[in-house]
C-alpha cells in the first residue's frame, strides 16, 4: 500500500496561492506600465522643453552653475534626469546664456546645440533622461500601492495600482524629461509621510523619523518645481487641524514642525550646494509666479483667450481623464465610508486645494499642471475595493460583471491611444485625433510627432513637405525633407537660419503637401491667429501622432492657390 505525505491544514494552500497570485498581479501591473512607458519613450520625438531640462541638468551636475534654466525651474528634477549623461559624457557648448538673457531665445538655441550638435547621439541622450523619469513614475506606482494598502488592504492596493498603471497622463508625462512627474511624486510622497507622522502621534510614538522624512520631502519638492510651494499651505492646514482637533500633542508637534522646517531648508540648500537662495531660488520663484498669474495666450474649446480661463482645468479633467476612472471617482463620492476624517484631510483636501489653485492661475498651457491631483483621487477611489460585496448572489454577480467591464474599458482605452498618451482624450470628443479642436500646447501637441511624421512621409512616398512646426526638435534629424513655414520653437532668428533652413528645392516641386502642428493650426501663439484659417474647411489627409495635420493641397486647388500667395508671409511671434 502506497503512503503519501500528509496534506497541509485546510486553507493553508489556498491562502498561500492567493498571496502568490496577489504579488504576480502586482508584478504584471508594474511590468505593463514599464513596457508601455518604454515603447512611448522610443516612439516620441523630442518635445518642446526637453532640450532645456536635459541640458540644464547635465550642466548643473558637471559645473555646479545653475544659471541656465533656474528662472524657469529649480534644478533637482533636471539633475536627476541627467544623471546617466555623466557616463555618456556629452560636450558642454560654449557661450552659456546668463540669468539676465532672454530665456526664450538664447536658451533654446544653446540647448539645441547641446542636443543636436554634440558627440553623443541625440536619441541616446534623450532616452537615457526619459528612462530616469519613468523610474519616478514607477516609484509613484509603488507609493500608491503602499499607501492604499495601508488604508484599505490588498484589494484596494491592486485597484489603485491598476488605475495608475494604465493612466494615460502618467504614461505621457512619466516618459518625458520634464518636471511634472517629479512634482507629482514629491507632492504625493510628502502627504504620505505627513500622514505617517500624524499616525505616529496618534499611536503615541516619538515620530522623529517621520519628522525628518517630511522635512526632506518638502525640501526636495521645493527643489523640483516652484509650484511645489503649495505643499506648505497644505501642511500648514493639516498641522492646524491636528492641533485644533487635539489629534496632535501641541508641544511635541510644534517642536517637530520647526525641526521639519529646518530639515527642509537644509535639503534645499544641499541641492543648491549652499549657494544663497536669494540669488538662485527666489528670483526664479518670483519669475514663475508672475508668469503663472500674469496670463498667457490660450486656445480652448475653439476660442482664443489672452489669459487663462477658470473653466480650463475642470473641462480638461472631464475630457482627458478616462471615463471609467471618472465613473469610479463618482461612485466613491457616494460611499459614506470613504468620507472619514483622515481621508478628508490627507487625501481629499490636498487634491481640492491643488486643483483650486490651478483654476485660479492664468496660464492654461496644459492638462499636466493638475497631474498631482490624480494620485489622491486614485487612492480614495481604491477604497471601493475594500467594501464588502453584496451578500445576495443576484446583486453580487452584476457588480462583478460591472467591475470587469470597467477594467476592460479602461485598459482598452489606454492601449487604443498608445503611444500617443500626451494627446489622449476620452470618448466624450469622439475620436482622439480631434483633440486639437478643444485645446493645444502640451494638452495635445508638444512637438512629439516628428518621428511619426517621418514614417508617414516615407510610407506615402512624399518627396518633401512644407512644415509649420510647434516644438524644439530638429525635423532633419528624423529624416524629414522639409521647407520651414512659421515655426514656433524658441530659437533665435539667426540660429534658426543656420539650423532649420530646410531644403529650398522643395519650393520647385509641383506637388504641395503641408504638415501643420495643431498648436500652429489654431494660431495659439501667432500674432495672426487666423493664419491657417484657409485649412479649417478641409478634412486633413492624416492626423499624425494625433498632433500634426497633413494636407495634400493638390487635392484642393483653391486652397493651393491661396497657400502659394501666403508663402513667405509673416505669421508667428
92: left (phi over 0), alpha (psi -120 to 50) or beta: beta
Alpha-carbon span 404 to 427, nearest angstrom: 19
Alpha-carbon span 311 to 145, nearest angstrom: 32
CA distances from 17 to 24, 159, 266, 385, 456 (A): 10, 19, 47, 20, 49
C-alpha dihedral over 221, 225, 230, 235, to 10 degrees?
0
Beta bridge pairs of residue 465:
482
Q: Please, are residues 419 and 451 in contact by the beta-carbon 8 Å criterion?
A: no
Which contacts of 246-251 are long-range, i.e. CB under 8 A and separated by 24 or more positions? 247/198, 247/201, 247/202, 248/198, 248/201, 249/201
Q: Please, are residues 368 and 180 in contact by the beta-carbon 8 Å criterion?
A: yes
Task: Look at residue 396 in the predicted model and tell me its pLDDT.
Answer: 79
Alpha-carbon span 343 to 348, nearest angstrom: 6
Cβ neighbour number for residue 356 with a 10 Å cutoff: 10
Digitized pLDDT (tens) for each residue of the chain, 573 residues in all: 344 444 444 445 568 888 999 999 999 999 999 999 999 999 999 999 999 999 999 999 999 888 888 888 999 999 999 999 999 999 999 887 755 554 445 889 999 999 999 999 999 999 999 999 999 999 999 999 999 999 999 999 999 999 999 999 999 999 999 999 999 999 999 999 999 999 999 888 989 999 999 999 999 999 999 999 999 999 999 999 998 887 788 999 999 999 999 999 999 999 999 988 888 899 888 888 888 887 789 999 999 998 889 999 999 999 999 999 999 999 999 998 999 988 999 999 999 999 999 999 988 999 999 999 999 999 999 999 998 877 777 777 888 898 999 999 999 999 999 999 999 999 999 889 999 999 999 999 999 999 999 999 999 999 999 999 999 999 999 999 999 999 999 999 999 999 999 999 999 988 999 999 999 999 999 999 999 999 999 999 999 999 999 999 999 999 999 999 888 644 333
Task: Look at residue 540 in the predicted model and tell me its pLDDT.
Answer: 97
Cα 437 → chain centroid: 21
Q: Return the C-alpha cell found at 319.
A: 475630457
Rg (CA), the chain: 26
Task: Look at residue 246 in the predicted model and tell me its pLDDT.
Answer: 76
**Among 525, 519, 557, 520, residue whose Cα is nearest residue 538:** 557
Residues 6 or more apart in contact with residue 5 via CB below 8 angstroms: none
Task: Look at residue 279 in the predicted model and tell me its pLDDT.
Answer: 80
Cβ neighbour number for residue 32 with a 10 Å cutoff: 17
CA atoms lying within 13 Å on the CB side of residue 217: 24
**Among 270, 243, 227, 525, residue whose Cα is nearest residue 361:** 227
Alpha-carbon span 44 to 448, nearest angstrom: 5
Q: Please, are residues 99 and 67 in contact by the beta-carbon 8 Å criterion?
A: yes
Dihedral sign for Cα atoms in the order 225, 227, 229, 230: negative
DSSP per-residue string spanning 529-550:
TTTTGGGTTSPPSEEETTTEEE
CA distances from 92 to 100, 110, 158 (A): 20, 10, 45
* 3-state DSSP assignment of residue 506: helix
Alpha-carbon span 73 to 38, nearest angstrom: 26
Task: Look at residue 392 in the predicted model and tell me its pLDDT.
Answer: 77
Alpha-carbon span 58 to 82, nearest angstrom: 5
* Burial of 260: CB neighbours in 10 Å, binned 0-12, 13-18, 19+: buried
Beta bridge pairs of residue 335:
none
Query: Which contiguous run of DSSP H or E holds residue 521?
Result: helix 518-521
Task: Look at residue 216 in the predicted model and tell me its pLDDT.
Answer: 98
Task: Look at residue 10 in the predicted model and tell me its pLDDT.
Answer: 44
**Among 88, 98, 78, residue whose Cα is nearest residue 118:** 88
CA distances from 77 to 82, 175, 279, 281, 288 (A): 9, 13, 19, 14, 16
Omega before 419 within 30 of 0, i.e. cis = yes
Alpha-carbon span 572 to 468, nearest angstrom: 10
Dihedral sign for Cα atoms in the order 553, 559, 561, 563: negative
Q: Return the C-alpha cell found at 552.
A: 495634400
Alpha-carbon span 461 to 233, nearest angstrom: 57
Q: Name the packing angle between helices 349-360 and 312-320 (round to 10°).
A: 120
Dihedral sign for Cα atoms in the order 221, 423, 133, 418: positive
Alpha-carbon span 278 to 180, nearest angstrom: 24
DSSP per-residue string spanning 546-567:
TTEEEEEGGG-HHHHHHHHHHT
Alpha-carbon span 329 to 520, nearest angstrom: 35
Q: What is the 3-state secondary structure (H, E, C) of 407-464?
A: HHHHHHHHHHHCCCHHHCCCHHHCCHHHHHHCECHHHCCCCCCHHHHHHHHHHCCCCC
Query: Which contiguous run of DSSP H or E holds residue 501?
Result: none
Amino acid at each position: 500500500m502506497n503512503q503519501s505525505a500528509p496534506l497541509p491544514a485546510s486553507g493553508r494552500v489556498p491562502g498561500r496561492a492567493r498571496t502568490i497570485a496577489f504579488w504576480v498581479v502586482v508584478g504584471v501591473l508594474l511590468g505593463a506600465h514599464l513596457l508601455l512607458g518604454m515603447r512611448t519613450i522610443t516612439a516620441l520625438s523630442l518635445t518642446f522643453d526637453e532640450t532645456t531640462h536635459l541640458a540644464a541638468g547635465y550642466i548643473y551636475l558637471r559645473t555646479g552653475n545653475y544659471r541656465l534654466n533656474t528662472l524657469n525651474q529649480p534644478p533637482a528634477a533636471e539633475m536627476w534626469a541627467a544623471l546617466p549623461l555623466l557616463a555618456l559624457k556629452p560636450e558642454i557648448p560654449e557661450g552659456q546664456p546668463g540669468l539676465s538673457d532672454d530665456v526664450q531665445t538664447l536658451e533654446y538655441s544653446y540647448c539645441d546645440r547641446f542636443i543636436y550638435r554634440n558627440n553623443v547621439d541625440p536619441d541616446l541622450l534623450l532616452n537615457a533622461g526619459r528612462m530616469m523619469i519613468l523610474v519616478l513614475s514607477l516609484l509613484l506606482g509603488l507609493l500608491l500601492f503602499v499607501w492604499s494598502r495601508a488604508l484599505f488592504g490588498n484589494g484596494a492596493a491592486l485597484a489603485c495600482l491598476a488605475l495608475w498603471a494604465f493612466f494615460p497622463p502618467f504614461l505621457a508625462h512619466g516618459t518625458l524629461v520634464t518636471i511634472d512627474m517629479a512634482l507629482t511624486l514629491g507632492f504625493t510622497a510628502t502627504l504620505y509621510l505627513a500622514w505617517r507622522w500624524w499616525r505616529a502621534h496618534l499611536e503615541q510614538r516619538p515620530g522623529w523619523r517621520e519628522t525628518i522624512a517630511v522635512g526632506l520631502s518638502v525640501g526636495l519638492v521645493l527643489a523640483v518645481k516652484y509650484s511645489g510651494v503649495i505643499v506648505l499651505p497644505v501642511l500648514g492646514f493639516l498641522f492646524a487641524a491636528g492641533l485644533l482637533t487635539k489629534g496632535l500633542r501641541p508641544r511635541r508637534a510644534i517642536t517637530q514642525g520647526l525641526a521639519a522646517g529646518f530639515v527642509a531648508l537644509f535639503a534645499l540648500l544641499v541641492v543648491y550646494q549652499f549657494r544663497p537662495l536669494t540669488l538662485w531660488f527666489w528670483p526664479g520663484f518670483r519669475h514663475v509666479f508672475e508668469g503663472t498669474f500674469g496670463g498667457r495666450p490660450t486656445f480652448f474649446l475653439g476660442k482664443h483667450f489672452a489669459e487663462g480661463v477658470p473653466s480650463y482645468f475642470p473641462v480638461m479633467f472631464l475630457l482627458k481623464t478616462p471615463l471609467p476612472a471618472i465613473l469610479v471617482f463618482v461612485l466613491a463620492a457616494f460611499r459614506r465610508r470613504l468620507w472619514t476624517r483622515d481621508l478628508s484631510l490627507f487625501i481629499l483636501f490636498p487634491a481640492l486645494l491643488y486643483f483650486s489653485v490651478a483654476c485660479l492661475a492664468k496660464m492654461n498651457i496644459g492638462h499636466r499642471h493638475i497631474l498631482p491631483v490624480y494620485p489622491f483621487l486614485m487612492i480614495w477611489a481604491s477604497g471601493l475595493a475594500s467594501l464588502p460585496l453584496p451578500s445576495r448572489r443576484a446583486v453580487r454577480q452584476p457588480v462583478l460583471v460591472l467591475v470587469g467591464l470597467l477594467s476592460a474599458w479602461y485598459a482598452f482605452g489606454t492601449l487604443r491611444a498608445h503611444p500617443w498618451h500626451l494627446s489622449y482624450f476620452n470618448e466624450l470628443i469622439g475620436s482622439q485625433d480631434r483633440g486639437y479642436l478643444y485645446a493645444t500646447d502640451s494638452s495635445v501637441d508638444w512637438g512629439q510627432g516628428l518621428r511619426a511624421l517621418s514614417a508617414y512621409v516615407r510610407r506615402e512616398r512624399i518627396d518633401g513637405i512644407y512644415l509649420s512646426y510647434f516644438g524644439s526638435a530638429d525635423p532633419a534629424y528624423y529624416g524629414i525633407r522639409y521647407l520651414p513655414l512659421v515655426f514656433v520653437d524658441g530659437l533665435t532668428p539667426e540660429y534658426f537660419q543656420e539650423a532649420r533652413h530646410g531644403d529650398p528645392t522643395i519650393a520647385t516641386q509641383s506637388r504641395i503637401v503641408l504638415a501643420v502642428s495643431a498648436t500652429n493650426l489654431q494660431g495659439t501663439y501667432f500674432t495672426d491667429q487666423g493664419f491657417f484659417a484657409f485649412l479649417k474647411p478641409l478634412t486633413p489627409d492624416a492626423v499624425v501622432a494625433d498632433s500634426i495635420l497633413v494636407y495634400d493641397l493638390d487635392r484642393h486647388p483653391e486652397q493651393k492657390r491661396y497657400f502659394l500667395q501666403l508663402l513667405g508671409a509673416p505669421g508667428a511671434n
